[in-house]
Structure 1
Amino acid sequence: MKSLIITTLLVLTTVIGIGNDIATDTLRVYQFELLEDIGAGSWRKTKKAMKEAADSDAGLILIHMNTYGGLLNAADSIRTAILNSDIPVWVFIDNNAASAGALISIAADKIFMKPGGNIGSATVVNQTGEPLPDKYQSFMRSLMRATAESHGADTIIVKKDTTIVWKRDPHIAEAMVDPDIEIEGISPKGKVLAFTTKEAIKHKYCEGEANSINEILDKQATQPYVIKKQELRPIDHIIHFFINPVVQGLLIMLIIGGIYFELQTPGIGFPLFVSIMATILYFLPLYVEGIAAYWEIIIFAVGLILLIIEIFAIPGFGVLGISGIILMIVGLAMAMVDRLEFEYMPILWSVLGKAFFIVTTTSAISLFVSIWLGGKLFKSSRFSQLALNTVQNTDEGYIGIDNSIIEIQGKTGVANTDLRPSGTIEIEGKFYDAMAKDGFIEAGTKIRVVEVKMAQLYVKPMNNVQ
């Protein structure tokens, strides 16, 4: 019996050992996709993929790519992550790797392309597709050149001649950005370089042609392999959706429109709820992603508070209201800008300009549409109850303002507080709220009431009264 137990244990140990050897000999491949315009969502997927690949002891990361380009800052973040990866990274270009996609692909250890695919055309352009000034192109050229150089070169010595053969030629990488770079037999002057699959293989910017990822691994892998594909959770899809610039623009419109309609209707109602929800959906995904910082949210909140104070607590519209609007715009725009942007000054102003353009444009459109739509809704019979349209006629006993206020016009007094432009004044031992007609008035200055309009007193210093 004892011999049987020992024999069984030996057999089990052998089987387990063989199983471990098989598991050790299997290549674990982690695959994720970049099939969209490169942006904040792409960078988020890449960070997640790198971490999960390391946690699962993957021996290879394989990117399935098909993109026409995207945001340079996101592409550079992905490029840097690939260059610093301890796990080899391969890219399968499933048709297109243009602009930002080309930068990311060149960073990979190996590039494979589908028949009929292309790589290149990495000139930096603005929102309308026009090339940006040369300082931006210079920055992109340096990124492309440095990325190509990172793969190293072979030094070939024949007698007294020494030749350096780059694994990825940096001049070719630069020619994908700058049309003024001419490479004989490859890129004529005046044309931005882009390779087809065959051309990329010929000039060492592609290791091979394949129709699928499995075909690549069947040809290249020297051992059995197993593929683990990235699985995004529902929350990941939601975050990717809400950090899309188009969606962000729509949320800004809802924020501004909600505030406008709330100010036009009595009490607290649905427009305020819409505005609050849009604000949460705008800032929360950006904050979770690490794109927005808490101080940007505070700036927006302070701006909103100042605007509310100006509208409800202070007559007229002045410094507080303007400051509030500016702070709200700054908070919304700065929240769009990744902290990484500030490390790359050549593109910082371009990114900031784009963020402020989106915020100001969508805010203006929202305000215009809200005013137009409000006029239509409040005049309709169905929604007229949302606005206060009751007319209080004087022949029915209603008095618009206190008659004693009207009688104050022309009287003199003293500014009790600074009028900047609003404050309080003292006339005949009584205190009144008033506004400076022109500029600011310091406390203690003798004043005269020059106008009474809608129960509001307007005053001027005595020495300025004609």
Structure 2
Amino acid sequence: MNKHPLWGALLLLALCGLPGMAWSAGAPVTVLTVDGAIGPASADYLVRGMARAEEEKAQLVVIRMDTPGGLDTSMRSIIKAILASPVPVATYVNPGGARAASAGTYILYASHVAAMTPGTNLGAATPVQIGGMPGTPPDKPAKPGEKEAKEPPADDALTKKQVNDAAAYIRGLAQLRGRNAQWAEQAVREAVSLSAEEALQQKVIDYVASDLPDLLKQLDGKTLKTAAAAEVKLQTAGATVVEHAPDWRTQLLAVITNPSVALILMMIGVYGLLFEFSNPGSAVGGVVGGICLILALYALQLLPVNYAGIALILLGMALMAAEAFMPSFGVIGIGGVAAFVVGAVILIDTEVPGFGIPLVVIVGLALVSALLIFGILGMAMKARRRDVVSGDAGLVGSLAAVAAVQAGNPLGGWVQLQGEQWQVVSRAPLRPGQQVRVVAREGLRLDVEAADESSREGD
């Protein structure tokens, strides 16, 4: 009788922690979908999705992928989550015609299971140029007879460091998962690609499956080793598939981390605050501008930005705003537009597909800003040509009716002008209701004359 608790404990350990453990037939399969460039939004979505799969006690996470590549920081965040996941992760390039290029190849190599659909491809994992003006061509080799440089240019040295780092990274992933490390390094150094069938033949991937049920059928009964150093036996044939589509948080993050949207938000934020400071009390400009500026700054700190570009954009908007408050006949405004365009061109410090700002957007925003500034300048010039209707200059020549006459002094009285009551004095006696014209101001007193007298003098 005393041995029963010991046997019970051993049985519990065998079910929960011993290698070779099999998931129950009811354990679900979680499916996450990545369609587009790998960025902060997709990284947040996949990391949270893998954590949620662990909470739901899923037996497998399938990342259905179609991507041209993405940001290095986002890719590494996803790979760290895959390597640390206690739930096995299968990356599946699907549907037909999809690809796992650049960052997608690294994620495929890092996964416990790598699979593709016929008609898909992977590879071209060479790091793209980071820094410098977009589209800058590489240095040309020395011509025959010319003396070659003893040391490579700084840009070439930086590129070599990036390529070597990326090659070592994907080689380590290949060795971890027992896949073709030689081809992985070739994909980085030579930007080569493979179709699904070729990838299977060269042991770059593990399976070729026509669809998700076919993949789950092939995985049924397979044993995988997870981060917890436990061997997990899958039972995926007929398992419940739970798809977690990107939620509102992921969709919002995807929108605001779009470089074009971040640039527009920054413009709205700066101009909104400028409007609030120039017209305090409206609150609309301050609230909208503050929210947009914070969202823009949050998005930019997630993106690979060039701080010189941000400085030029802010300088450009400041100069265009200065043109509105201190008209210089367009000199400051044109300089501001030029600074804004140059800053927007160099703002994003990478050539990764999907993270550039189209030139059409840059020119459009510059034209909108220029039209706004020069429109304000035009209104200011028109206002300068108008007659003054307020202040001392606006008082002289104004017509008003005598509101009251001083008791005992028919030459003095009061009139209502510009929302204020003024004391007036005339050379001729005044009477209540009489129309008078202001001819001069002396302190707080106005000199007036009867309106009919001034008209007769003019004749």
The alignment's TM-score, normalised by the length of structure 2, stands at 0.55
% identical aligned pairs = 24
User: Does 1:48 pair with 2:51?
Assistant: no
- Provide the C-alpha distance between the structure 2 equivalents of 1:102 and 1:23, rounded to a whole number of angstroms: 29
The answer (yes or no) to whether the contact 2:59–2:88 under 8 Å persists in 1 is yes
Within 5 Å, give how 1:432-443 maps onto structure 2. Answer: none
SS at match of 1:195: strand
The answer (yes or no) to whether the contact 1:266–1:388 under 8 Å persists in 2 is no
SS at match of 1:33: strand
Q: 1:396 to 1:72 in 2, by over 3 A?
A: closer
Gaps of 5+ in 1: 1-21, 152-166, 180-191, 316-324, 338-349, 400-466
* 1:29 equivalent in structure 2: 29
State the AA in 2 paired with 1:175: Q
State the AA in 2 paired with 1:51: A
State the AA in 1 paired with 2:121: N
User: Does 1:248 pair with 2:242?
Assistant: no
- Provide the C-alpha distance between the structure 2 equivalents of 1:115 and 1:42, rounded to a whole number of angstroms: 25
- Provide the C-alpha distance between the structure 1 equivalents of 2:164 and 2:111, rounded to a whole number of angstroms: 22
The answer (yes or no) to whether the contact 1:253–1:362 under 8 Å persists in 2 is no
- Provide the C-alpha distance between the structure 2 equivalents of 1:388 and 1:269, rounded to a whole number of angstroms: 28
State the AA in 2 paired with 1:118: N
Q: 1:366 to 1:274 in 2, by over 3 A?
A: farther
**What RMSD over aligned residues (CA atoms) do the two structures have, in Å?**
4.8
The answer (yes or no) to whether the contact 1:35–1:65 under 8 Å persists in 2 is yes
Q: Aligned-pair distance for 1:368?
A: 6.2
- Provide the C-alpha distance between the structure 2 equivalents of 1:144 and 1:110, rounded to a whole number of angstroms: 15
Q: 1:277 to 1:115 in 2, by over 3 A?
A: same
The answer (yes or no) to whether the contact 2:67–2:104 under 8 Å persists in 1 is yes
* 2:203 equivalent in structure 1: 204
* 2:148 equivalent in structure 1: none
* 1:71 equivalent in structure 2: 71
* 1:275 equivalent in structure 2: 289
Q: 1:396 to 1:99 in 2, by over 3 A?
A: closer
Q: Aligned-pair distance for 1:256?
A: 3.3
* 1:370 equivalent in structure 2: 369
Within 5 Å, give how 1:395-434 maps onto structure 2. Answer: none
The answer (yes or no) to whether the contact 2:260–2:361 under 8 Å persists in 1 is no
User: Does 1:142 pair with 2:164?
Assistant: no
Which stretch has the larger CA shift, 109-118 or 131-140?
Answer: 131-140
- Provide the C-alpha distance between the structure 1 equivalents of 2:136 and 2:118, rounded to a whole number of angstroms: 27
- Provide the C-alpha distance between the structure 1 equivalents of 2:388 and 2:242, rounded to a whole number of angstroms: 79
The answer (yes or no) to whether the contact 1:67–1:96 under 8 Å persists in 2 is yes
The answer (yes or no) to whether the contact 2:262–2:299 under 8 Å persists in 1 is no
Q: 1:391 to 1:69 in 2, by over 3 A?
A: same
Aligned length: 306
- Provide the C-alpha distance between the structure 2 equivalents of 1:266 and 1:27, rounded to a whole number of angstroms: 60
State the AA in 1 paired with 2:105: A
Aligned partner of 1:101 among 88, 101, 104? 104
Q: Aligned-pair distance for 1:273?
A: 4.5
SS at match of 1:103: helix
Q: 1:365 to 1:270 in 2, by over 3 A?
A: farther
Q: Look at both structures and tell me which one has the larger radius of gyration over its CA atoms.
A: 2
SS at match of 1:112: strand
SS at match of 1:37: coil
Q: 1:225 to 1:396 in 2, by over 3 A?
A: closer
Aligned partner of 2:247 among 219, 229, 233? 233
SS at match of 2:63: strand
- Provide the C-alpha distance between the structure 2 equivalents of 1:86 and 1:23, rounded to a whole number of angstroms: 13
* 2:123 equivalent in structure 1: 120
Q: 1:149 to 1:110 in 2, by over 3 A?
A: same
Q: Which has the higher contact order (CA 8 A, sep 6+)?
A: 2
- Provide the C-alpha distance between the structure 1 equivalents of 2:370 and 2:280, rounded to a whole number of angstroms: 17
The answer (yes or no) to whether the contact 2:115–2:209 under 8 Å persists in 1 is yes
* 1:81 equivalent in structure 2: 81
User: Does 1:169 pair with 2:180?
Assistant: yes
State the AA in 2 paired with 1:282: A
